[in-house]
Amino acid sequence: MKVHARAPGKVIWFGEHFVVKGKPAIASAIDLYADVTIEPIDSDRVIIESRDKGVIYDYSRRGKPPRLLKPFKHVIDYIVGEGYTGRPRGIYARISSSIPVGAGLGSSAATLVAFTAAFLKYHGVPMDSNTVSKIAYEGEKIVHGKPSGIDNTVSTHGGFILYKQGVLQKIDYVWRDDYVLLVVDTGISRNTGHAVKRVLDRYNRVPNVMTKIYDAAEEIVYTALKYLRKGDFEQLGELMNIAHGLLASIGVSIKRIESIIHTALKQGASGAKLTGAGLGGCVLVLVRNDLLDRVSHSISRVSKKIRIFPVKPIGKGYSVRVYE
């Protein structure tokens, strides 16, 4: 038996960082994916391989895993420790991903969701989305410290999601085909845990000012819900611009992010903001089709390191297939 699982990356439209202090956020799954296949091997060894990075770990030897594979070891420990399975069978697990890493697109959560789903399926454990998301979150804690849980939630469930304090609500939305959503990778990778700490430190230094910014971010989320449901992308774009201003004010923008945003807006994009943790990572640009070439061309001239991905929100979260 061979099992293949796939899980999508995500973008946060509104509410990153503010979500860490319990404010609501809006995110959607996007059509970039992580894949995990699990096959039997002729021994009781448990091998995990990251195809993209060429790193391998033999779980059965119980040695120290390479940093990149530590969350997967932790997920197996958790699954076994909580009694979901007995001792794991002999397997070879291959992990690969088309989601840029360290870019705020939920690549670690997507690989962990796909890995969890494939592992449970291979061992014949009945599963539901909440279990998959919960277990993947255990791995996320190893990567990011104490993340809000939005990444594993969106990757598991798919669609547009309103997320608040661990609770998700699927959002109805109208997707306009006369617009394109660009994910612009700045080429500067960053660490989510570090960005979150930086924001929380500022929060603790000037809480009276920061709480007002957090309240404004919350207001943006509830206003954005209205425009998403109506498919009013011009208004949505304007909210993205305001949201970015708030993210800059809490200290997570950098020069390259600002250059991309200014260039995109100057060339006619409807909205642009950083997405995810900031300090590098990605920028979201919402642009009308007829302006796409002009906007993309100008953005790509900001730096040779920039990569541009046109993406679409997708309704489906993880999927698992079994090949006999």
Active site (annotated) includes residue 52: no
Residue 319 phi, psi (nearest 5): -140, 150
User: Which stretch in 12-20, 34-42, 84-92, 227-235 sits in contact with ligand MEV by CB under 6 A?
Assistant: 12-20
Helix (H) or strand (E) holding 10: strand 2-14
- CA distances from residue 287 to 188, 237, 266, 311 in whole angstroms, order as listed: 23, 9, 12, 12
SS3 302: coil
Out of 17, 73, 157, 273, the only residue in the binding site for ligand MEV (CB under 6 A) is: 17
Strand 179-185: give its sheet, edge to edge: 271-275, 282-288, 179-185, 307-311
Out of 9, 237, 276, 280, the only residue in the binding site for ligand MEV (CB under 6 A) is: 276
Q: In DSSP terms, which residues pair with 275 in a beta bridge?
A: 282
Binding flag, residue 104, ligand MEV (CB under 6 A) = yes
Binding flag, residue 143, ligand MEV (CB under 6 A) = no
Binding flag, residue 103, ligand MEV (CB under 6 A) = no
Nearer Cβ to ligand MEV (151/218): 151
Nearer Cβ to ligand MEV (120/213): 213
Binding flag, residue 185, ligand MEV (CB under 6 A) = no
How many chain residues interact with ligand MEV (CB under 6 A)? Answer: 14
* Residues 49-88, mask of contacts with ligand MEV (x by CB under 6 A): ----------------------------------------
Least distance (Å) from ligand MEV to the CB of residue 274? 10
Q: In DSSP terms, which residues pair with 286 in a beta bridge?
A: 181, 271
**What is the rounded CA–CA span in Å between residue 259 and residue 192?**
21
Given the residues 151, 172, 201, 290, select the one marked as catalytic: 151
Least distance (Å) from ligand MEV to the CB of residue 15? 7
Nearer Cβ to ligand MEV (165/211): 165
Residues with Cβ within 8 Å of 75's Cβ and at least 6 positions away in sequence, in order, are 112, 115, 116, 119, 135, 136, 138, 139
**What is the rounded CA–CA span in Å between residue 113 and residue 119?**
10
63-90 burial, b at 16+ Cβ within 10 Å, e below that, comes to eebeebbebbbbbbebbeeeebbeebee
Longest CA–CA separation in the chain, Å: 62
Which pair of structure tokens corresponds to residue 176? 């306009």
Which pair of structure tokens corresponds to residue 87? 């001792």
Least distance (Å) from ligand MEV to the CB of residue 72? 19
Binding flag, residue 151, ligand MEV (CB under 6 A) = yes
Nearer Cβ to ligand MEV (88/106): 106
Binding flag, residue 192, ligand MEV (CB under 6 A) = yes
Binding flag, residue 147, ligand MEV (CB under 6 A) = yes
Residues 47/58, Cβ–Cβ less than 8 Å: yes
* Residues 217-256, mask of contacts with ligand MEV (x by CB under 6 A): ----------------------------------------
Out of 150, 265, 287, 295, the only residue in the binding site for ligand MEV (CB under 6 A) is: 150
According to DSSP, residue 105 is labeled S
* CA angle in degrees (0–180, nearest 5) for 317-319-324: 180
SS3 177: coil
Least distance (Å) from ligand MEV to the CB of residue 91? 30
Catalytic residue set: 151
* Binding residues vs ligand MEV (CB under 6 A): 12, 16-17, 19-20, 104, 147-148, 150-151, 192, 196, 276-277
